[in-house]
Chain A
Amino acid sequence: MEIGSRSARPDRATVAATAAAALMALALAMIFFYVPTDADQGYSQRIFYFHVPIAVTTYCLFAWGAVNAARYLWKRDESLDLKSYVPMHLGVIFGSLTLVTGSIWANISWNTWWFWGDTQLTTFLIIFLFNCAYFMLRFSVEAGERRSTYSAVYALLGVGLIPLSVLGVRFAQQNELIHPITFNSSGANMDGSMFLTFLVALAAMLLLAVTMYLVEMRGKRIDERVRQIRQLAEGRA
């Protein structure tokens, strides 16, 4: 075991954390001081630069969790189970934030905390429900190969659920769409400085997620190490 033999070189989590902090500061500065106020929605539209990057990050986390779930079923490597679980778990945090920021924004622009006609918000609620079920499943099965397999299978079913939710909710609410369309097939639907701010905010949020992922993975690995050492010690005793 090479505990304490780590080199002086900073590890990936530290690098990611530093970069995330710097980018986040830059993003905040740009959101509040650089980007022009939206003509239609006024000052409050700035919440867009939080809400959308958080939502995109949530999708990315779920995608990463699902990719690792598929890799787990293929390779049966227990570390891949963790790499699937941790993004799903972080996805819940970012997903809750999406719902909260979305709800605040809805209150400001439409004067209601929740609007069922909104496709994105409703879709997110379905995904949130799916995630709660994922954790229920995970906590009902004893740790081990079976729990990893079941979690992976359920996570992969989510890959089918997300596009179907988007399609289904959109279909059911035709002609009632009021969610601002930020992007369409011809590219970004905003001017240059807004788009730049959005990109910086998105990068900051993604890096924040990566940092949290690396830190939590490190914590889990240490837990595992401790457990192994304890087992060894018990074996000796």
Chain B
Amino acid sequence: MCSAEAVPVVACRQLVRRFGERRALDGVDLDVAAGETLVLTGGNGAGKTTLLRVLATVLRPHGGAVSVAGHDLPRHARAARPSIGYVGHEPLVYPSLTALENLQLYGELHAVQPGRCHEALAMVGLERRGNDRPADLSRGMRQRLALARAWLHRPALLLLDEPTAGLDADGREVLRAMLDQHAGAAVVATHEPDWFAGGRELRLTLGRVAG
């Protein structure tokens, strides 16, 4: 990992993102230091998912300044992408490819060693289900697959959108183990902030930082 003591992994200044006329993010300021876990809370429509998607470089910011791993978005988004591991609402996998094939595809896109895919499957407890398609997996197992996918390239920044959704007790153990191993920063959007007790909590309301 590169030395990131001075530069925060995530820095947002007056970040704005619109959807049509509506401002989903309306001037958000926040910093996430290396090794820190930021826990985003707030009701539905508060802007948590939008913020994570902007940080994941899949939504362009419309105003303000935002940088990830020291790279300004959107102009240097491509340089920031290797540092990002994103878990969204959907598992982001192809339904007609097997679990392993999906990981292998993402492995190639992230240019990781082919062995990592089996390793990642084992880590989330899916080593026997590698040849099953996502549709044949339970919801919780698909979520585990999503965790494995985001963890493949050992990102410096994990962006997790309601990662506990659908996870059973074992699944939560997997997530806990993953976060313990993770040395970098994390931004987690969740309705269960108590579960991420080690992190710093930040509440969003109507696209702004509350309080």
* Chain A residues within CB distance 8 Å of chain B: 142-145, 231
Contacts and interface: CB of A to CB of B under 8 A. Distances in A.
B116 interface: no
B60 interface: yes
Interface of B: 18-21, 60, 62
B181 to A, nearest CB: 39
Contacts of B18: 144-145
A57 B85 CA distance: 52
Q: Binding site of B, secondary structure by majority: helix, strand, loop or mixed? A: loop
Contacts of B21: 231
Say whether chain A's binding surface is mostly helix, strand, loop, or mixed. loop
A143 B20 CA distance: 6
A148 B62 CA distance: 14
9 contacts: A142-B20, A143-B20, A144-B18, A144-B19, A144-B20, A145-B18, A145-B60, A145-B62, A231-B21
Nearest to B19: A144
B118 to A, nearest CB: 40
A143 B19 CA distance: 10
A144 B23 CA distance: 12
A142 B21 CA distance: 10
B62 to A, nearest CB: 7
Contacts of A144: 18-20
A142 B60 CA distance: 17
Contacts of A145: 18, 60, 62
Contacts of B20: 142-144
Contacts of B60: 145
The 9 A-B residue pairs with the shortest CB-CB distance, nearest first, are A144-B20, A142-B20, A143-B20, A145-B62, A144-B18, A145-B60, A144-B19, A231-B21, A145-B18
Contacts of B19: 144
A231 B18 CA distance: 15
Contacts of A231: 21
Given A143-B20, A144-B18, A145-B18, 6 more contacts: A142-B20, A144-B19, A144-B20, A145-B60, A145-B62, A231-B21
A217 B60 CA distance: 27
Contacts of A143: 20
